[in-house]
Every structure is written in C-alpha cells, then in structure tokens.
C-alpha cells in the first residue's frame, strides 16, 4: 500500500477537526518549491495497513477525521479501497490533491468516499507548467486541473482551493488570474510558504503585511479567501 507516514493528531490539516494525517508517497509533478521531496521520490518504508487500521480503531474516540495527503494520493489506484475502509470505520475524510486526476476524483466524489477536498492551484494557468516542472507545450496538466475544478463544483462535497504563495512566483496579477479562474468557489486559501531543508530550491515567503494586502484584493473576487500559516 502507498502510505508511508502517519501523523497521529493534527489540529491544522482539517479545519475544525482533530485529524490523523496519512501521507502517500510519490507524485506525478515536480513543483520547484516542493516541501515534500522525501515523499515524492518514493523511497520510504510503507506502513502496513493493518497497523494504520489498528491505530485508527483504537483512537476512534480521540480523532474526528483522517486526512489523506501526499505526495499525490490519486496516483495510487488502491487508494479507493482504503478510502472505503476508512469511511467504514466511521471517520470524516479529507483529501488533498494536486487535481491532475479528475477521473479518479469524480469517482471518489460520486461514491461519497470523502467529506472534504482541497485542490492545490499552484499558479495561473499561463505559468503552470513552469512551476510544476513540466514541459511548456504539455497541455495535459492544466486541462486535467480545469476538469478537477469543474468536478468539485458539480458534486455536492465541500471543497477549497489553495495556493502556496511564494515571492518569486506570485504577485497581485498572478493571484487575480487564479481567483478569476476558480471563482465562484466556497473557500480559497493563500498558504504561507516555508522553506525547509528538504526543499528542492530556495524561494522566499511572502511576508504577512504583503499577504494581507493581496488578501484584500483577492477577497473582492472571492469573499471567502483566507490566509493560512500567517
């Protein structure tokens, strides 16, 4: 199975709930700012499913929800079965995805295997391929993400879009383009970038004062826009 990490209790990964966080390994993108390089290169020990299930069962009264994150969870076909099992245990489930597998996402939403979805929108679509480490003439990634946006908007499962904001990539112009692309939507989150030793390259965070100015302008398009990590 694909789970290589388990954070036993988190208060920040699913707003309003105490969650256990399950990390999948490997990713189909190579974002220049990726903070999860240990996960995306996929050389981690897999945690036996029985061990995870046993932890969840024993902590049923302490944990409200399970967050599935990566890497990219939807590159693993067997994630569907695991979502089914987690739902059967009675937990709320949140899925974090980069939005590049709309077919699997639609299947998950139609079968109500998750209760909340967060889709990363890394940049405006004119500059998407560069930031995710893809070839300039590759339309597949952006087309799939557009399809995932349509997919979450047409299924009745709560969702948010989120962008990790970085000085070298994002400014008012790029964020306005993103906001116009994803609007209307129930929630948009601008997340603080944090350089870590595992990051592929060094970039700079957008500081709080600047982020608050950006927030004010983005709220004119998507009123439910928030800062996270500031």
Using CB under 6 A as the criterion, which residues of the chain lie in contact with ligand SF4 when the complex forms? 27, 29-31, 34, 36, 40, 70-72, 98
User: Residue 63 CB: number of other CB atoms within 10 A?
Assistant: 19
Residues 6+ apart with CB under 8 A from 207: none
Minimum CB distance to ligand SF4 smaller for 108 or for 141:
141
Of 70 and 102, the one with the shorter C-beta distance to ligand SF4 is 70
| Residue entry with tokens 């939807």 | 74
Name the residue nearer to ligand SF4 (CB basis): 63 or 102: 102
Q: What is the smallest separation between the CB atom of 191 and ligand SF4, expressed in angstroms?
A: 11
Nearer to ligand SF4, 56 or 79 (CB): 79
Q: What strands, in cross-sheet order, belong to the sheet with 159-165?
A: 3-10, 19-24, 65-69, 92-97, 116-120, 159-165, 188-192, 225-228
Shortest spacing between CB 130 and ligand SF4, in angstroms: 13
Q: How far is the CB of 43 from ligand SF4 (least distance, A)?
A: 15
The residue among 30 and 187 lying less far from ligand SF4, judged by its C-beta, is 30
Rounded to 5 degrees, φ, ψ at 111 are -90, 5
Nearest-approach distance from CB 131 to ligand SF4, in angstroms: 9
Measured at the alpha carbon of residue 182, what is the angle toward residues 178 and 184, in degrees to the nearest 5?
A: 130
CB of 60 to ligand SF4, least distance (A): 29
Q: What does the alpha-carbon distance between residue 183 and residue 43 come to, in Å, rounded to a whole number?
A: 38
Distance spanning both ends of the chain, measured CA to CA: 35
């Amino acid at each position: 199975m694909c789970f290589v990490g388990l954070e036993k209790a988190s208060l920040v990964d699913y707003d309003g709930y105490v969650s256990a966080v399950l990390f999948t390994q490997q990713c189909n993108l190579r974002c220049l700012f990726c903070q999860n390089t240990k996960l995306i290169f996929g050389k981690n020990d897999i945690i036996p499913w029985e061990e995870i299930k046993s932890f969840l069962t024993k902590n049923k009264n302490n944990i409200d929800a399970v967050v599935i994150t990566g890497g990219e969870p939807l590159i693993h076909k067997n994630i569907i079965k695991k979502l089914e099992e987690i739902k059967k245990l009675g937990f709320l489930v949140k899925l974090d995805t980069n939005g590049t597998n709309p077919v699997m996402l639609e299947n998950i939403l139609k079968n109500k295997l998750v209760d909340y979805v967060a889709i990363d929108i890394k940049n405006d679509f004119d500059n998407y391929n560069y930031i995710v480490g893809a070839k300039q003439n590759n339309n597949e990634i952006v087309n799939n993400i557009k399809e995932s946006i349509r997919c979450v908007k047409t299924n009745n499962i709560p969702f948010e879009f989120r962008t990790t904001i970085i000085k070298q990539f994002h400014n008012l112009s790029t964020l306005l383009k993103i906001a116009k692309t994803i609007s209307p939507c129930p929630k948009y989150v601008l997340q603080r970038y944090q350089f870590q030793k595992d990051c592929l390259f060094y970039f700079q965070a957008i500081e709080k004062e600047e982020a608050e100015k950006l927030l004010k302008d983005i709220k004119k398009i998507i009123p439910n826009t928030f800062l996270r990590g500031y």
